[in-house]
Each structure stands twice: as structure tokens, then as C-alpha cells.
Chain A
């Protein structure tokens, strides 16, 4: 057992957990932040991705103790942080995933969205290659990634005032957006 002092989504929290527990376990089973998912528990799938000081980290292979004195952002943090910064609704990346159909079962998506968020914070208008690289550690078994790339492109374009590419399935004439 150890006492941990963590900064999660802007809150400073103190929590006791076995010393071998990972950040993923502490978030999910001590703090009730179950938006962080566990798909393999060994660093293979990316479902457990959180941001530590803005960079994506696999929380299932990251000892909770190593996160002390760092800023941890989980999927639950994006909306409140966006609102605290004066925004409305969800973070635009979350919203874009929903509007592009990128969320099927959703199990990969908290990790996916956080990886996408880190990318967009660094590269304002990423190419598809940038997106492929940034998401290469996040496995999705449902979507075939296509609508995820579209969601990232759309979030970037909206911010930059550009027109996103129309998906192949969208009819020429109509407004395709949800």
C-alpha cells in the first residue's frame, strides 16, 4: 500500500493503492474514472491511453506512482477543461468523432480521442499520414480507422476554417454532416 498524490484533470487527489498498481488501475478502480479503458493490460492496444503533461501515455504499463507531480488528463477531463476555457459542450475533438461516425463500440475511443487531441495540439492541420502515425498505438477493431481519420481532419479543418474532404459514401449534392 502506498499513498499517492496525483493531479487528475486539474484536481489534486490523494489516494491509497497497492504499490504495484498501474495508473490505469488507480484511475478505474480507486478514483472511479472508468472512461479510461483496459483492453489488454500489457501495452498492446492503446485503450488505456491518457495524457501526462499533454503527451499520450499507456496507463496500463505506467505505475501510478510515476505520475505523481505530473498533470494527468483522462477522457473525463476534456469536456470540463474545454468549458473552463470558455468553450461550450464537449471538446471539439470529441464532438467531431461523434459527428463523423467514428464511435462504434467506443471501447478504443477514449484512448483514440486523447491521442488525436495530443496530435492536434501539436500539429494544427495534420495530414492523413500524421494521423496514421499518431494513432498507430491505438487499436480499433470496429471502424477500419477511416471515420477516425475523417473526424481528425474535420476537427482540424473546422478550427482552421478549411473544408474537409467529403467521404466516399456521401452523395455529391447533399450536406453530409451529422
Chain B
């Protein structure tokens, strides 16, 4: 154990925790803003700290404070099961959180001949861990709904149970098809496999190699996260709030946040398994390391462009209409944020310039590439989360018998057939 390995392990753990927890307020805010923008509204954009509204993201923190201060209320009829009633949201939340921990954020670091995984939980059986821990989340839903002794909550719990039996099989079988293709249950190995190309030009991303399994996986993960079009367990238009009807204050918040952590985890799994994870298409880690100065130059051109677009967008949109007399500090905010962005860009440029053209330090280059991969991962993660959100505000909810029908009559045979074909092709290619 060298110092490097300890540092990398601690940093990956912190990174994993931050990526899972800090994205919750961002995702809640994104959900609300995107929903309103889709519906031609503005959404929460006013809460601020010292005039800084950051587009309204501060609202989520205000909401957390509100939920913390709310009255804890327990229905009087849950006498014996109170501890489980309290534990149920925690199960859902923790399961989603733990499942996130096996996602690799960057390629395995090779420092002084040591291979260090950039993974919060550096395990080689990541996919199995995800399937096992991720499936526990629904237990929290079922416990919570069942223990509420409430008709609606019980119906929600029953629906959650019916959901599990409809998607789990298809999920497992489509994941199996990927395991056969990538010849590994390790997420990191999967991403490395996907950084290659096939037929000379097409990036070997899972969605292009295994389109059917990819679609089944996405559908099944939508079901697993309890998001639209599979919100049958919550079913607010039919059964009040489903399993969480009786849960108040922080217990409700746990379910609520658990949903977003689960969505984040599902996005991470999807991009890791079928969208090339932390890799950009066509450039593998080795390419970036061997042509480091080219890579640094490309980044030095790209970063100012992105920042310029961002600042232009801010100056146009972080304003009020001409008819409104006061801008509520938005001009000031735009100015401060623009300066901060420019300073950050200059700093990054200086670092890249030094690393790319003056220092010949392989360790520093490796770390720079790893950080870049983390950034790519975060961008992809956010894009897929936005996709989740757009889908939610586009499609109506399935009835839960329709979900079962879909799972058993379409997804299951399709994934079985796909697995068979995959196996035949893989055996044919390798032998």
C-alpha cells in the first residue's frame, strides 16, 4: 500500500459520496426547472443567498431546511412496526446510495506500476453488486407501504411488488447479454471494452453493439427507479401518494431523495454499460496519454469556447424583461459568476499549458487524464439524468397490469432471444 493508493481510494470514496449526494438538490431543481420549461413556465428561480440564485438551485436547500423542520407525525395505528416504518425510507435511500458506489469514475490509474481503481468501492464484481443492492431498494417501498396500515399505501406496496416481478427478469437477462459480450462483470472492464471501435470507425458502445439489450436495459432501469412511465407504486392520480402516503417530514424526504439517488445510479449504470462510461468515443486512455500535448491543446481550445457560450447565455437569460423595473441583483450575479468562470478558465489553461508542453511528468499526466474522465463522466451523467426527466414529462403512466404484460410478454422473450443470439455469436467469434 503506497501513499498514492490510499489517496486515490479516499478521493474516489469522497467523489462517489459527493456525486451521489450533491446531485440530489441539483436533480430536484433540474426536474422542476425542466418540467416548467417544457410546459412553458419558469419554475423556481427566486430563492437566493446574498443575491446568488444560481438559476434557482438554492430552492432545493431551502426545501431541505423546510423538511427538516417539519413536524414528525406517526399515524397512531402503527404501534409495533414503528421502527420498521422509520427504517423503510432509509432502506430505499441507502440501497440506491450503495449501488452507486461501484461506478468507475475514471480509468484505472497506473501509477508507479500500481493499478489503482477510481471507484468508491474498488470491487471487481460491480455489476453483481449493483443488481443485488439495487434490488433491495424496493423492499423499503414494500415495508413502508405495508406498515402504514393504509389502503392506499398497501395498494402502492402491492403494486411495487408486482413491478419487481415484471422487470427484474428482463433486467437480469439483458445485463447477462452484456456480460457475455464484454466477457466481464466488472464495470471498469466494460468501459475499457467500449473504448475500442468496430468496423474501423464505429465506437464500440453497448448501444451500438447490443441495441436490443440496451433498450431492454434502459426500460428495465426506468422501472427499477420507479420513474415515469412506471410510477405505478406512487400513482398519485389513483392512490394518493401510494406507499409514502403516511410518511411525513424527513421520512418522506428520504423516499423522495432516494428516488433521485436511484435515478442517478440508474443513469450511471446505463452510461457505464452502454454509453462508454467515462470515455469519449474514439479516444482511449492510452491515446490520450501518448498524445498528451495534443489532448491538452484540444482542451485548451474547447474550454474557453464552452465558457464563452455559458457566459453569453447567462448575459442573455439571467435577466428580467425590459418592462420590469428591478432586476433583483441578477446583473450583479451574472458579473460575479462571469469573472469566476474566466478566472477558472485561465487557471485551467495555465495548468494544461504547463502539463502539456513543459512538464514531462507521467504521473501528473495520468492524473490530469483521470480528472478529465471524471468530468466527461459527470457531463454524461447529467445528460442522461436530463433524459430521464424529459421522459417523465413526456409520457403518461402505464397501468400496472400493462407493465406486467410488457415485462412478461415482450421484454422477457426478447431478452432471452437476444441472449441466445449473443451467446451463439460470441461462441462463433471466439472459437
Q: Do A and B come from one complex?
A: no
Which A residues are within 8 Å of any B CB, using their own CB? none
